[in-house]
């Protein structure tokens, strides 16, 4: 006899599925707005699980050259959980990503499922958020300057590639359309940048790429000070030293996810580090 699970169709996500996807993320109390899902879909690919016309599951992935991808927005509607739907969607998405190293940021709920697919721990990400307060001006070192992104700043995507160990050019370009960036320059040479964009309940600062913690603080201070009074969020690597400073300036840690990898982990350039993620899903 056919079970409910047999009648659930796993198919390609289209823009028409975004309303249903937003309902799923709201049910999990995730902050993603319709626009956030739309941007994710425009940048990547998704699968949905559909039951009697209703979206009851989602999984998304984003490819980065040469052979990397991140996977995220893995959600199964509460009433459908524990029946193998998460596994079915993961099998289908990982099949599409064959040959890629896949990275993801796992919640407590997601980690057991990912372990079953051979994902291994790589690090931790701290989620910080709250109402931004005025911050003291960052102490810049001689020759350093934080300035707006200029038309001639063509090398920044390359910094992002080095900090993540994978090609982020397309994502960087898209961030330019959906937000603003400031650049950290040392003796007029760009060495880092930070983006700010609308996301979820307020504003998100990220990605943040800098040569060191002092540079990352200078970049983040710019945005946090500029958006004092607004709700701001940052997702930062736990081992970056950034978390402690964010606590001090009044943006507490509210959660933690575990970065996991399946395949050969990307190699980062230690002189050009990622201090803030664009988002947990995009990595
Ligand atoms: C994580 C999630 C997608 C799993 O979906 P699901 O449909 O309930 O998972 P499945 O029923 O397909 O389970 C797949 C396997 O993982 C195991 N599993 C799933 N959740 C588990 C848990 N909390 N603890 C232990 N094992 C778990 C199952 O036992 C199953 O193993 P099996 O196939 O060997 O029997 C779902 O719980 C969910 O949407 N959670 C909330 C959103 C979330 O946190 N998503 C993860 C984001 S990173």
The string of pLDDT tens digits covering residues 168-217 is 999 999 998 889 999 999 999 999 999 999 999 999 999 999 999 999 99
pTM above 0.85, yes or no: yes
Confidence of residue 23 (pLDDT cuts 50, 70, 90): very high
**What are the φ/ψ torsions at residue 269 (nearest 5 degrees)?**
-95, 115
Residues of the chain with CATH 3.40.630.90: 127-256+263-276
State the architecture of 5-99 in CATH terms. 3-Layer(aba) Sandwich (3.40)
Nearest CA to ligand 1 atom 46: 110
Give the position, in ligand 1's atom list, of the atom nearest the Cα of 280: 48
Check residues 136 and 9 and name the one with the higher pLDDT. 9
- By most ligand atoms within 8 Å of CB, the mutation choice from 40, 46, 113 for ligand 1 is 113
Residue 101 Cα, ligand 1 centroid: separation in angstroms? Answer: 21
Give the position, in ligand 1's atom list, of the atom nearest the Cα of 111: 48
Give the position, in ligand 1's atom list, of the atom nearest the Cα of 83: 11
pLDDT score for 238: 98
Confidence of residue 167 (pLDDT cuts 50, 70, 90): very high
Is 127-256+263-276 a domain of CATH 3.40.630.90? yes
Confidence of residue 73 (pLDDT cuts 50, 70, 90): very high
Confidence of residue 3 (pLDDT cuts 50, 70, 90): low
pLDDT score for 4: 60
pLDDT at 154 over 90: no
Nearest CA to ligand 1 atom 12: 84
pLDDT average, residue stretch 151-180: 92
Residue 258 Cα, ligand 1 centroid: separation in angstroms? Answer: 15
Residues of the chain with CATH 3.40.630.30: 5-99
- By most ligand atoms within 8 Å of CB, the mutation choice from 51, 86, 88, 114 for ligand 1 is 86
pLDDT at 278 over 90: yes
- Computed over every residue of the chain, the mean pLDDT equals 95
Give the position, in ligand 1's atom list, of the atom nearest the Cα of 81: 8
How many Cβ atoms sit within 10 Å of the Cβ of residue 220? 29
Can you tell me the distance from the alpha carbon of 247 to that of 150, in angstroms, rounded to the nearest whole number? Answer: 31
Burial classification of residue 154, based on how many CB atoms lie within 10 Å of its CB (0-12 exposed, 13-18 middle, 19 or more buried) = exposed
Tell me if 278 sits within 8 A of 271, measured CB to CB: no
């Amino acid at each position: 006899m056919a079970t409910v699970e047999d009648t659930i169709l796993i198919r390609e996500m289209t823009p028409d599925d975004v309303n249903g996807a937003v309902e799923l993320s709201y049910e999990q109390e995730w902050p993603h707005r319709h626009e956030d899902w739309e941007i994710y879909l425009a940048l990547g690919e998704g699968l949905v699980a559909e039951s009697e016309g209703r979206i009851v599951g989602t999984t998304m992935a984003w490819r980065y050259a040469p052979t990397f991808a991140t996977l995220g927005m893995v959600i199964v509607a509460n009433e459908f959980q524990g029946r193998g739907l998460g596994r079915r969607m993961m099998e289908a998405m990982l099949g599409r990503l064959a040959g890629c190293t896949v990275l993801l940021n796992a919640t407590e709920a997601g980690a057991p499922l990912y372990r079953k697919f051979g994902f291994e721990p790589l690090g931790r990400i701290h989620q910080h958020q709250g109402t931004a307060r005025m911050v003291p001006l960052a102490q810049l070192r001689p020759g350093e300057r934080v300035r707006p992104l200029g038309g001639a700043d063509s090398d920044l995507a390359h910094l992002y590639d080095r900090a993540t160990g994978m090609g982020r050019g397309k994502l960087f370009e898209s961030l330019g359309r959906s937000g603003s960036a400031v650049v950290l320059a040392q003796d007029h040479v760009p060495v880092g940048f930070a983006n700010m964009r609308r996301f979820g309940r307020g504003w998100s600062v990220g990605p943040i790429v800098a040569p060191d913690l002092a540079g990352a603080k200078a970049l983040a201070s710019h945005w946090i000070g500029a958006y004092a009074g607004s709700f701001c969020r940052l997702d930062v690597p736990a081992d970056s030293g950034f978390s402690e400073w964010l606590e001090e300036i009044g943006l507490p840690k509210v959660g933690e996810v575990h970065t996991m990898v399946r395949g050969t982990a990307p190699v980062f350039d230690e002189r050009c580090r990622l201090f803030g993620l664009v988002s947990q899903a995009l990595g």
